[in-house]
Amino acid sequence: MATFFRKFLPTNPSASNSNFNADDEYNMEYSFALQYSGPPVTYDIPRVVPVDVGHIPTAAEVSTSSSLSNLSLPVVQPIVKKRKDHLSMRLPNERKLDLSAAANSPISVIDAGGFDDGREARLSSGQGTSFRVVNVIDDSGESGYSDSYEFITRRVLNRNASSRSLGVSESHGNSHELSENMDVEGVSDGPVGGLSSEFDKPGLRSPILSSEITSCEEEESVHEARSPRHRIPIVKFRDPELSDIVYGENDHVESVVVQEKQRSTRASVGKGLCHLCLKGNQFTQKEACLVCSAKYCYKCVLRAMGSMPEGRKCISCIGYRIDESKRATLGKSSRMIKRLHVKARAKEIMRHEISCKANQFPPELIYVNGRSLSEAELVELLCCPNPPRKLEPIKYWYDKVSGLWGKEGKKPCQIISAQLSVGDQIMRNASNGNTNILVNNREITRSELWMLEFAGINCEGKPHFWMSADGSFQEEGQKNVMKQKLFKPRIKLLCAILSLPVPSEAAHSGIQEDNKITSKLASGNLEQRKPCKFLMVGSEKSGTSTLFKQAKILYNAPFSEEERQEIKIIIQSKLYSYIGILLEDRERFEEESLNRARMKHADQLGASPTDQIAEESIYSINKRLRAFSDWLLQVMVSGNLEAIFPASTREYAPLVEELWKDKAIQATYNRINELQMLSQGVSYFLNRAVEITRADYEPSDIDILHAEGITLSNGIASVEFSFPKSVQDSYMDITDHDDPLKRYQLIRVHTSSLGNKCKWLEMFEEVDLVIYCVSLTDYCQFSYDTNGDATNNMLKSRNLFETIVNHAISSEKDCLLILTKFDLLEEMIEKVPLTRCEWFHDFNPVISSNPNSNMSNNSNASLAQRAFHYIASKFKGEFYSLTGNRLYVSQVSGLEADSVDEALKYAREILNWDFEKPTYNINEWSSGSVEISSSS
């Protein structure tokens, strides 16, 4: 066909040009026109109304005196390899104008000022540039064509001069000349019929509505829809009425414009399609504009966003404020940006995205102590040595004396530089405290009160304090200054857990804190250093401390010497507890067994049970061991173990080892499910009793893992870490929003520290994710109350789970259920059925004999796997009925590092989904990630 059409072409001088490339010839696109000579048509052919030149608005010249840096001027973009051998103007009523005569003029930028009825024309140069002129076609009749064209041309040429004088970039070098290969297309909102081969297919009709403000993306889409292979990059227009809006001058108008852009963006392009090429689906990766949310595929993003001087914004959105729901993603590079640019460039773009003026909040939207900030105050705030992290357009309070800073109605979140002249005086109720204790005239919150009490500052009698920037305290009217109270490690730990800021010792000792902070700021790390918090809770022996210690080992947060010593004492003392529990239960079992034997004997002989007494059972021990056993049980019952521990216990170690190996104790240990307070792992230490009780024993990491607890108090423990990037992570491109140093804090709280009905949970309101641990072996273990009544441990665990889920701090938070001790479940389930727990009465795994059946995959799963899924679904159902939300579940064998690593990385993923949710809450994950919209 191409060869055939080529015969009809006028001789093309450019073809003889030495620059003419043979390939170009084959890439030429052709259009031809035929005079219609068929029978009369039954429908109305749209008429072209003549243009009234006097009423065509003229484009306003951009004033060179205005602040040009704030203007987003339309920029010409190139088209890819496109040639036209004649200049024509296609019109709605099937006419075509030859415009070749007037095509020798250079243009670079035109302004569509005043055209608002949606008509447009496209001018494209065969040299690789196209232009669009809005509303050049008059729809009153045929007579207006040449007038219109003259008008366009005149305007184009005039405009070009002024645009150039403004220094508008001739963005694509050689392409700003309008050669004789220029093409002018008219696009109408009516049906476009006729002569052009490109337009006479059904469905290729322009849908532009005359009253809409058309964004460049929308218009591009329309053009693309009309002729997908004929896509022309277009001149980007900015509405002339808005071209004077400089950032910050007219917020209302700007927000209207942004809303309009977003609306038109949404309306014009199908879901999942790229806004430029209109290709793709909801699964293709796209990058979204921070202003109008238009999304672009990998191929189009650079053309749509250009050099990204303000980060990820369409060129036409540069200078506009970002959509506030996307603020959380500012500076967080996407996979697409990383694929498109080298690392340094991607970082630079992200830096611009965070720091450019257009993307900041305007000062008047930020309130401090009840008053909005002036520009000067905002500058002072941002440029102080220790500025607030992540300012938002909300109300803050600021204690100028101490530098404490927080959101209005909330506890302090940071200590910024003191004595800044920003905002009014602080108000008593600034942080909504209800303790009657004032610090620098602010009534402090309960968490602050806990912290002060923990630090040993006497708060009896509701005193009022002064606190200075170096952290020293002074009670009003008292001379005594309390220094360094807040610098103890345990206070720092508590503050970290309560999310309270602590004054730095450097500030106290006058070290060059400023320099340190400035350098942190320079590296852009200040905000990112705030860790994400995981709160880990679980019922007794649920494996929380094992997970915690495994995390410390995994993520290189070594145990301090102090911690190792505490764990050594735990291991050594527990050794005696274990043997004590075994001895107690041995006695019980011996008694039961002897009674049974007596009854049996009596039944057989028909005599009274007391006639003949059975002397021994499998649970009986020899005399020597019995004497030791009696003494040890006596010491333990009297609570004197500490008195003989550790020194004198060492000499008994061989006896402990002997006892452990005795058949009676082994028989007792075999009934471990019936032994309260004894975990399966005790054999690990009892086998090595002599070694462990030696004075020079140093627990290895594995010993630490097997040990029960972390600290002697078994209360609250916290560890901060980063996930090291693994090879698999790099392969799957899993990152912490581009920050491998992102910090996480794992806080482990023992149930006994949570108080009645978990009331102390409120101390952890700022955690990001709740991790609830349940031991999978709980289903066959029981606890006994003082009356001897047994409760299944799984039911106990479920009750605690319900209490925690119903607690206020859990609302709005994701929850990850970690089912621990999977390795033990595998052993246990072979011996004791899952239905031992009444909650699991309907566990009835179906075993398929047909390997090809749908169940085959499932039936390949081990019994333990199926039990795990069943238990998980039970908890999920419970969670859903309580919250209406989804519970995430992970399976763990706490002694296996990989398994814990996986579970904690899963927790990280859940948080990441959460961060991305607000930005793309319409069923999507994130910009730069795969869309998962379910609608098609």
Ligand X SMILES: Nc1nc2c(ncn2[C@@H]2O[C@H](COP(=O)(O)OP(=O)(O)OP(=O)(O)O)[C@@H](O)[C@H]2O)c(=O)[nH]1
707 annotated among ligand-binding-site residues: yes
Q: Which two tokens stand for residue 328?
A: 């959380």
Instruction: Give dist(CA 665, CA 670) in Å, integer.
Output: 9
710 annotated among ligand-binding-site residues: yes
Instruction: Give dist(CA 201, CA 650) in Å, integer.
Output: 96
Closest CB 704 distance from ligand X, rounded Å: 10
909 annotated among ligand-binding-site residues: no
Instruction: Give dist(CA 360, CA 36) in Å, integer.
Output: 59
Instruction: Give dist(CA 428, CA 156) in Å, integer.
Output: 64
**Under rule CB under 5 A, residue 566 binds Mg ion:** no
705 annotated among ligand-binding-site residues: yes
709 annotated among ligand-binding-site residues: yes
Instruction: CB nearer to Mg ion: give 465 or 685.
Output: 685
Closest CB 901 distance from Mg ion, rounded Å: 20
Residue 543 touches which of ligand X, Mg ion, none (Cβ within 5-8 Å per kind)? ligand X
Q: Looking up tokens 């608002």, which residue turns up?
A: 116
- Residue 76, classified by CB atoms within 10 Å of its CB into exposed (0-12), middle (13-18) or buried (19+), is buried
Instruction: CB nearer to ligand X: give 160 or 545.
Output: 545
Around 115, how many Cα atoms within 13 Å sit in the side-chain half-sphere?
24
Residue 802 touches which of ligand X, Mg ion, none (Cβ within 5-8 Å per kind)? none
Q: Looking up tokens 């050689």, which residue turns up?
A: 174
Q: Which of residues 86-115 bind Mg ion (CB under 5 A)?
A: none
Strands 464-467 and 438-439: parallel
Sign of the C-alpha dihedral computed for residues 645, 648, 654 and 655 taken in this order: negative
Neighbours of 381 (CB within 10 A): 24
Instruction: CB nearer to ligand X: give 662 or 708.
Output: 708
Element (H, E) at 658: helix 653-661
Return residues touching ligand X (CB under 6 A): 538, 540-546, 679-681, 706, 708-709, 714, 750, 820-821, 823-824, 893-895
Instruction: Give dist(CA 473, CA 455) in Å, integer.
Output: 11
Residue 821 touches which of Mg ion, ligand X, none (Cβ within 5-8 Å per kind)? ligand X
Instruction: Give dist(CA 815, CA 274) in Å, integer.
Output: 35
- How far apart, in Å, do the first and last CA atoms of the chain sit? 37
Instruction: CB nearer to ligand X: give 543 or 580.
Output: 543
Instruction: CB nearer to Mg ion: give 305 or 571.
Output: 571
Residue 893 touches which of ligand X, Mg ion, none (Cβ within 5-8 Å per kind)? ligand X
Closest CB 753 distance from ligand X, rounded Å: 10
545 annotated among ligand-binding-site residues: yes
| Three-class SS state of 544 | helix
CB closest to Mg ion, residue no: 545
Closest CB 545 distance from Mg ion, rounded Å: 4
Strand-pair partners of 474: 466, 481
**Under rule CB under 5 A, residue 129 binds Mg ion:** no
Instruction: Give dist(CA 299, CA 629) in Å, integer.
Output: 79
**Under rule CB under 5 A, residue 545 binds Mg ion:** yes
708 annotated among ligand-binding-site residues: yes
Instruction: CB nearer to ligand X: give 243 or 893.
Output: 893
Count, residues near Mg ion per rule CB under 5 A: 3
| Three-class SS state of 888 | strand
Instruction: CB nearer to ligand X: give 545 or 792.
Output: 545
Residue 612 has what DSSP assignment?
S
Closest CB 821 distance from ligand X, rounded Å: 4
Closest CB 800 distance from ligand X, rounded Å: 11
Q: Which two tokens stand for residue 920?
A: 């793309």
Closest CB 814 distance from ligand X, rounded Å: 21
Instruction: Give dist(CA 755, CA 749) in Å, integer.
Output: 11
Residue 750 touches which of Mg ion, ligand X, none (Cβ within 5-8 Å per kind)? ligand X
Cis peptide before 74 (omega within 30 of 0): no
Instruction: CB nearer to ligand X: give 231 or 748.
Output: 748
Residue 126 touches which of Mg ion, ligand X, none (Cβ within 5-8 Å per kind)? none
Residue 895 touches which of Mg ion, ligand X, none (Cβ within 5-8 Å per kind)? ligand X
Q: For the residues of 181-199, what is the DSSP string, one character each?
A: T-EEEEE-SS---SS-TTT
Q: Looking up tokens 């909504």, which residue turns up?
A: 432
Closest CB 625 distance from ligand X, rounded Å: 25
Q: Which of 170, 218, 708, 924: binder of Mg ion (CB under 5 A)?
A: 708
Residue 538 touches which of ligand X, Mg ion, none (Cβ within 5-8 Å per kind)? ligand X
Instruction: CB nearer to Mg ion: give 265 or 545.
Output: 545
Closest CB 707 distance from ligand X, rounded Å: 7
**Under rule CB under 5 A, residue 709 binds Mg ion:** yes
Is residue 286 within 8 A of residue 336, CB to CB? The reply is yes
What residue numbers does the annotated binding site for GTP cover? Answer: 705-711
- Which residues participate in the annotated binding site for Mg(2+)? 545, 711
Residues at the interface with Mg ion (CB under 5 A): 545, 708-709
